[in-house]
Structure formats: structure tokens, C-alpha cells
Amino acid sequence: MFALDSGDTAWVLTSAALVLFMTPGLAFFYGGMVRSKNVLGMLMQNVFAMGLVSTIWAIVGFSLVFGDSGNGWIGNFDFLFLADVRDLDGDIPGMALVAFQMMFAVITPALITGATADRLKFGSYAVLIGFWSLLVYIPAAKWVFNGWLLDMGALDFAGGTAIHINAGVAALAVVIVIGNRRGHGTVAMPPHNLPLTMLGTGILWFGWIGFNAGSGLAADGVAAQALVNTHLAAATGMLGWLLVERLKSGHATTLGAASGAVAGLVAITPCAGFVGGPAPLVIGTAAGVLCFLALGIKEKMDWDDSLDVIAVHLIGGIVGTLLLGFFADTEINGEFDGLFYGGGLELLKDQFVAALVVGVFSFVVTFALAKIIDGAMGLRVDEDAELQGLDQSQHAESAYSS
């Protein structure tokens, strides 16, 4: 047995519960933004990830990320079915790491569903995220959290590359394979229930405390700094988004407040335990402003990224990952200085490489996977099912009786 720290253990277990709660939060965040005939389809896609990805994680996922293979590319099968996890060295039980990281694996593929809203066949979606977890998330998580990108010197405190850039790029790849919603650009598709979206935003914000402040796997000063950074980035992300939105389109909206807060949370994710002082305020504001401006990308490219996964998660992830190269501060993390703290360009270069590697890897593998599934079983519902809505066509249910 190893000497366990009960404080650290308690905080990591608590954080696992917080991160778990983010996935239903995300479901409501997205669910409010789709039309009422698709809200159950959206909730189901997200909640289903809690079932499928948790199972995959227990069987093989954890082992392939944290099994000590001696190489930086992929783990091994030492922890298949979570066997022998108790042998893991550390001041928290190995099983606490299993739980905490499991919730990350669950929410990452769920992030994709915002881009592909209203048109995925449920069965094909299940196959897609199952294989995506194995072929894309697991390698990326290994490289970033426990492998060669980490060894190279790239920093990612809680998943700016492995989670947000990864899911954002994957969302783009799937959108390119399946195409736009029928009526995209001609039929109005406004959100059907923004109160649900606000509820989801609150849950995400709350859960993100565990996502970031738990990622040091310790209940210490870094965790406290990460918690405050996370909250401040959400706060300033909201302010940044609302300011530009108000200037450009005349009103500060509730959906804008929600989107800006999430953009700030995404951007602070890689930075949370590595920065301090004014950095979270700058990172949050930058994310709010830049993610709002990035909404124009999908119009220009005619990508029906329905709920703006590219603008919020991909761009937000890139903003955070690169800004860490400027704002990392040894006084906070004891290891690395960014450009603004006398560390030169080294870290910024590593951050850029990590973002690029994860982005390219995710795009190529996700695109191939989506193409194969589309060819084998069809990724997209047929026209009748799409017009009827996912709730009835995929699940034989209605969200709202009348």
C-alpha cells in the first residue's frame, strides 16, 4: 500500500462527481438551442455517452491511457477491466483517477453533438462515439496527459487540446461528412427553450470547477488558483461576448451570456493551474470576444455547425492553448514560464505544436471514421425522419405533450 492523502482523495472524488454533472448540463445547454421536435434526441445523445463511454473506459480506455507501456503513444492492457488499478502509485487511489478521468472521456464525444444537431441516426451515432473514443480520444488523452506531447513540454492543465480542440475539430469533420440540416439558411431554426440553455450553462459552470480545479489531482494551492481562474474566465468570457454582441447586433442576449461564459471556461481549461494574476481575466475576455467573432466562420464556409461547436470549443480551445504560451507563470505552477514571464518562445512553440498535432490527428481519423460508418450504415436520418424530428423518428417519444 502507498501513503494516501485523504484530502487529495476527497477532492478528486468530489471533482469526479462535479465533472459527471457537466454532461447532463451540456445536454440542457444544447437541448434548449434545438427545435422542440429534436430536444429529446439531443438530450439522449449526451446522456447516452454516460452509458457507452463509461463502459468502454472501464473495459479498456483507462488502461490504454494510463497503462505503463513505456512509450508515449499508447498505454497497454495492464488495467483491462480495471484490474490491478489499486497497484498504481500516488497519493490518491488509482480508482479515484479512473473515476475522474472517466468523466472527461464521457463529455468529450458529447461535445460533438452540438455541431451535428437534428440529423444523426441514433444507432450510427452510438457506433461513431464508441469508435471515436477508442481511436481518437484515447490516443489524444494519452499524448497530452501521459505521453509524448507532455514529455515534449506542451502544457494542458485540464484538456484544452485533448478535449476542446479535439472535439471541435471532430465536430467539423463529421459536419463535412453528413452535410447541412435540410432547410439550413432558408428555414428559421431558432432555439426552442433558452431557459433550458441557461440551466445547462449554470450546471456546466458549476461542474467546470471540478473539471479544472480537480485536474491537479490534489487539494492544494494550485487547485484553489485553478478554481478562481476558472470562475473569473467564465465571468469575463460572458462580459467580452456581451460587449461585442451588443456593439455588433444591438442587444445583449441571454444566449450570448451563456455562450460567452462557456467560451471563457473552454479557454481557461488548459491554463487553469498554470496562470495567475490578471491572466484569467485576459484569457476569459479574449475568448468571449474571439469566439463571438468566430461565429462568422461557419457562414463563410457554409458549414452547418448547428450550435457553434467550432466557434466555442475549437476556437476557445485554441485561444486558451496558445495564450498559455504567453501567460504561464512559474510562481503559480513551479515549472514553466510563458513569453510574458520571461520564458521566451519555447512554451508557445510547444503549445502550437500540441494544438496542431491534436487537431490534424482528430480531423483525419474522425473524417475517415465518419465516412466508413456513413458508407456502412448511414450516419444521417432520411428526409422524412429529419422533418418529423429526432424525438419521434429515433426514439418514438415527444418532449412536450399537447
Partner 1 sequence: MKLITAVIKPFKLDDVKDALKAIDVTGITVSEVRGFGRQGGHTETYRGAEYKIDFVPKVSLATVVDESRVDDVVDAITKSAATGKIGDGKIWITDVDRVVRIRTGEEGTDAI
For partner 1, the closer CB: 291 or 318: 291
For partner 1, the closer CB: 54 or 253: 253
- The nearest distance, CB 254 to partner 1, in angstroms, is 10
- The nearest distance, CB 249 to partner 1, in angstroms, is 5
For partner 1, the closer CB: 47 or 295: 295
For partner 1, the closer CB: 61 or 256: 256
- The nearest distance, CB 182 to partner 1, in angstroms, is 17
Query: Helix/strand/coil (H, E, C) string of 55-101?
Result: HHHHHHHHHHHHCCCCCCCCCCCCCHHHCCHHHCCCCCCHHHHHHHH
- The nearest distance, CB 313 to partner 1, in angstroms, is 14
- The nearest distance, CB 306 to partner 1, in angstroms, is 11
Half-sphere exposure of 52 toward its Cβ, with a 13 Å CA cutoff? 22
- The nearest distance, CB 75 to partner 1, in angstroms, is 39
Q: Which residues pair with 380 in a beta bridge?
A: 120
Helix/strand/coil for 120 = strand
For partner 1, the closer CB: 121 or 192: 192
- The nearest distance, CB 36 to partner 1, in angstroms, is 15
Helix/strand/coil for 380 = strand
User: For residue 235, how many other CB atoms are within 10 A of its CB?
Assistant: 19
Q: What is the DSSP string of 289-331?
A: HHHHHTHHHHHHHT---TT-HIIIIIHHHHHHHHHHHHH--HH
For partner 1, the closer CB: 278 or 296: 296
- Are 399 and 196 contacting, i.e. CB atoms less than 8 angstroms apart? no
Task: Give 372-377 contacts, CB < 8 A, sequence gap 24+.
Answer: 373/124, 373/127, 373/128, 373/131, 374/124, 374/177, 374/178, 377/121, 377/123, 377/124, 377/127
User: Which residues of this chain interact with partner 1, rule CB under 8 A?
Assistant: 188, 190-191, 245, 248-251, 253, 255-256, 259, 292, 295-296, 308
d(CA 204, CA 99): 18
d(CA 377, CA 307): 25
For partner 1, the closer CB: 244 or 272: 244
